[in-house]
Amino acid sequence: MTISSSMGSGAPTASPLGAPGLISLVVLVAGTLALGAVYGPAQGALFLVGGALGISLYHAAFGFTSAWRVFIAEGRGRGLRVQMILLALAVILFFPFLASGTLFGNEVRGNISPAGIGVIVGAFMFGVGMQLGGGCASGTLFTAGGGNARMLVTLFFFIVGSLIATLHTAWWAALPSLPPTALFQTFGAAGGIAVSLIIFGAIAAITVVVEKKWNGALEQAPPSPRQGFARYLRGPWPLVFGAVALVTLNFATLAIAGRPWGVTSAFALWGAKGAQLIGIDPASWPYWQQPGNAKALASSVFADVTSVMDFGIIAGAMLAAALAGKFAPNLDIPLRSVLAAVIGGLLLGYGARIAYGCNIGAYFSGIASGSLHGYLWAVAAFAGNVAGVKLRPWFFNKGRAIRRIDG
């Protein structure tokens, strides 16, 4: 992602928030109250959790895409090691409650899906799309909300790709796969946590060995331009603090919604709603005849938990960008970069649907749920990222600075 298509580097606004910040703040407050009144307190609370996720993703610049790319291209593993911390905290927090099936007296379930060919192909496609589109699912939302004009292109075609995939999900689901399996089901909560921590520790150790071999020493976090309260209000946050925030907010999602955080099912829904507006009715497609999906298609998007949280992420990221003084959309986007956003978005959308999730639903929440499909997704998506990194030079001018704040 080039500077010209990023969130911009303009001077801070005259007021602490400016018009974009005030608008996003009003949307977050009014939206929470309105959703709570119409759809119940839980829906309003989830919109607010989404807003907090958007702020956390933006202020921590928590990049899944950039962390994988930097490790593949430069052997720098700091971002990947923080992801292992994220996953370690998540399994420690999630497994006991998922194993018992209840949290605060409410029924909860994990993101546990079959692990098969669809996951491998879809995750690989998603991995390529991450590098061409310039972000993942959460990254697309928070960078778009932060004012990244190019990411709006990626998001639009992410939605289109998601809709197209709903035509074929039944075919992919019929291919060979292992049944839905979770580590806490096989080993118990404590055993599942132990196995998970060994895996995460091994991955972190590999990044250390690779980074020292390639670069001689481990990369240190850059100094922050702000300290104290100002740093946490306006960013940038320490990466580890961002990881803790994301785990806490995902746990809050589990407690309120009864299942972990997800992102991309909403994109398929938005695509289907948009298709209806132009005379295409996907209601007859098998995917949209499944009870939950049929209900979502027949209802308002504001009744959909994932949609509401996604809207909250966009608003929260916009508020964070305003607080940081960096909300400055720029339409000066090179043509090849736009083409990469189109291709990347389509791959992201299609891949996420057939792989039972994205970097959030399958990787973060899937592994937090102990699902084997989450681990398979991670391996296949990493392979896709390797391919995507090799393709990037054709689409992006390597001579221009790259700001590592994409998803």
pLDDT in tens, 120-166: 999 999 999 999 999 998 989 989 988 888 999 999 999 999 999 99
Q: 402 falls in which pLDDT band (50, 70, 90)?
A: very low
Distance of alpha carbon 130 from alpha carbon 112, whole angstroms? 23
| CB atoms closer than 10 angstroms to residue 93 | 17
Between 242 and 402, the higher pLDDT residue: 242
Is residue 338 domain-resident?
A: yes
Is residue 407 domain-resident?
A: no
What mean pLDDT is predicted for residues 380-402?
83
Is residue 301 domain-resident?
A: yes
pLDDT at residue number 246 = 98
Distance of alpha carbon 337 from alpha carbon 2, whole angstroms? 9
pLDDT in tens, 57-97: 999 988 899 999 999 999 999 999 999 999 999 999 999 99
CA 244 → CA 138, 186, 314, 379, distances in Å?
Answer: 16, 27, 20, 24
Averaged pLDDT score across all residues of the chain: 92
Q: Is the pLDDT of residue 8 over 60?
A: no
The torsion of the CA quartet 149, 151, 157, 160, rounded to 10 degrees, works out to: -100
Q: Is the pLDDT of residue 393 over 90?
A: yes
pLDDT at residue number 329 = 81
> For the chain, percent helix, then strand, then coil, each to nearest 5?
70, 5, 25
- Joined together, the tokens standing for residue 97 give 């409650």
pLDDT at residue number 16 = 63
Q: 398 falls in which pLDDT band (50, 70, 90)?
A: low
Is residue 406 domain-resident?
A: no
Distance of alpha carbon 188 from alpha carbon 194, whole angstroms? 10
CA 277 → CA 18, 72, 271, 350, distances in Å?
Answer: 34, 42, 10, 21
What mean pLDDT is predicted for residues 198-215?
98
Is residue 400 domain-resident?
A: no
Is residue 405 domain-resident?
A: no
| CB atoms closer than 10 angstroms to residue 170 | 13
Is residue 174 domain-resident?
A: yes
Give kind and range of the element (H or E) at residue 60. helix 41-60
Q: Is the pLDDT of residue 179 over 80?
A: yes
Is residue 99 domain-resident?
A: yes
CA 310 → CA 62, 83, 226, 249, 304, distances in Å?
Answer: 16, 21, 29, 13, 10
Q: Is the pLDDT of residue 15 over 80?
A: no
The torsion of the CA quartet 390, 147, 156, 142, rounded to 10 degrees, works out to: 70
The tally of domains found in the chain comes to 1
What residue numbers bound the domain in which 312 lies? Answer: 3-9+17-395
- Joined together, the tokens standing for residue 221 give 């976090």
pLDDT in tens, 272-330: 999 999 999 999 999 999 999 999 999 999 999 999 999 999 999 999 999 988 887 87
Q: Is the pLDDT of residue 1 over 60?
A: no
Residue 219 DSSP class: P
Of 20-24, 35-39, 223-227, the range with the highest mean pLDDT is: 35-39
pLDDT in tens, 350-362: 999 999 999 999 9
pLDDT at residue number 327 = 83
Distance of alpha carbon 358 from alpha carbon 351, whole angstroms? 8
Distance of alpha carbon 124 from alpha carbon 378, whole angstroms? 9
Between 21 and 9, the higher pLDDT residue: 21
Worst-scoring range by mean pLDDT, 70-74, 226-230, 403-407? 403-407
